[in-house]
Amino acid sequence: VYYANLLGVDMGMFYKRRDYSRLVEGEHPVVSVEFLGNDVTGKTVVIVDDMIASGRTALEVATELRKRNAGKVIICATFGLFSDGIKRLDQAYKQGLFDEVYTTNLCYCPEELFAKPYYHNVDLSRYIALIIDTLNHDTSVNDILDATERIQELLDIHAAKMSAV
């Protein structure tokens, strides 16, 4: 919500209602899925999740977004574990469910993933080094963690480029 407001873009979310009174194959079954947000027709949509293990959750969301005629679908996750492999992602990409996947280098990713046309690995080593350096100097990490100013600078640069076109 914070970043959507900062960027001046719409934000939506999917709410999965589960039946917590029973388990099916070790999980509480989903009873319904509700989308809370505006029309996504033709829009570039970014799915943000904390991690991708099997990819099932992100791909379910991508499927729902395609049903709602979303334009480009980008999946972003901090931790790309891919503990169930990448076959499911490969199939979904071939079906056109999503366009790109971004994960960080904060955990190991299977080597074969780097050759995929849809995959991008985001290098956070500089960012982590800044945090460690700041902590070693016994100063606050607030300036590093608060990206508001950096995002605003990027938006200003983008706006300047767009007005020059």
**Per-residue tokens: 87:** 């076959």
**Per-residue tokens: 17:** 């209602």
Q: What residues contact residue 79 under an 8 Å CB cut-off, 6+ apart?
A: 50, 51, 52, 103, 104, 106, 107
Q: Which residue among 16, 67, 72, 87 is the active-site one?
A: 16
- Phi, psi for residue 149 in degrees, rounded to 5: -65, -45
CA dist 76 and 48 (Å) reads 5
104-111 long-range contacts (CB < 8 A, ≥24 apart) are: 104/78, 104/79, 104/80, 106/78, 106/79, 107/79, 107/80, 107/81, 109/80, 109/82, 110/82, 110/85, 110/86
Is 87 an annotated catalytic residue? no
Instruction: Show which residues are catalytic.
Output: 16
